[in-house]
Amino acid sequence: MTYIETEIPGVWIIEPKVFNDARGYFMEAFKQSDFESHIGQVNFIQDNESCSTKGVLRGLHYQLAPYSQAKLVRVIKGSVLDVAVDVRAGSPSYGKYVAVELSGENKRQFFIPQGFAHGFHVLSDEAIFTYKVDNQYMPSHERGIRFDDPAIHVDWSIEDLECVNLSEKDKNAPCLKDAELNFTF
């Protein structure tokens, strides 16, 4: 695998080696020793999967400490624009984001450490999204930031904002300046 650190230290794009032949393909999706030698020790405890249709935007989500989550995300089918926003107080990249297209075709993975809000926008007709997390889901600690917060100004590659399919929770999320945060750099 190739590990590419992004412009925000600690956020990584991982490109697997894919072996194709007439039967299909083979790849290692995760190898703990390789992951730890590049990124460090992360104790993933759960795998999650979601399926969404074109135009769905999920995020920007995070969980407050002590239930904050690091995530290793990838798309099995379809494509998404995946975004990680630094929400760690005192970080030189606070409020900045990294975006990467993840697809079943490019097989890229995206590592998002604790202290980041995360979201994705579905670009294909359907996307199957899977991710590893290092902490359990705790509804009482779940928070969000508006996907269209003008202070962050994420370029979601959306032509018509009226066509975005959001949950009620995401429609009502606060902007970063009003969000409840407890992360430090």
Domains in the chain and their CATH numbers?
44-178 (2.60.120.10)
CA distance 144 to 108: 25
pLDDT at 185 over 90: no
**62, 143 Cβ separation under 8 angstroms:** yes
pLDDT at 161 over 80: no
Active-site choice (97, 118, 121, 131): 131
Identify whether 121 is a catalytic site residue: no
Identify whether 61 is a catalytic site residue: yes
Q: State the pTM of this model.
A: 0.94
Each residue's pLDDT tens digit, 38-66? 999 999 999 999 999 999 999 999 999 99
pLDDT at 159 over 90: no
pLDDT at 174 over 90: yes
pLDDT for position 162: 78
Active-site choice (61, 118, 121, 141): 61
Mean pLDDT in residue range 55-82: 97
Mean pLDDT in residue range 92-117: 98
Closest by alpha carbon to 46, among 73, 27, 22? 73
Mean pLDDT in residue range 26-44: 95
Strand pairing report for 46-53 and 142-144: unpaired
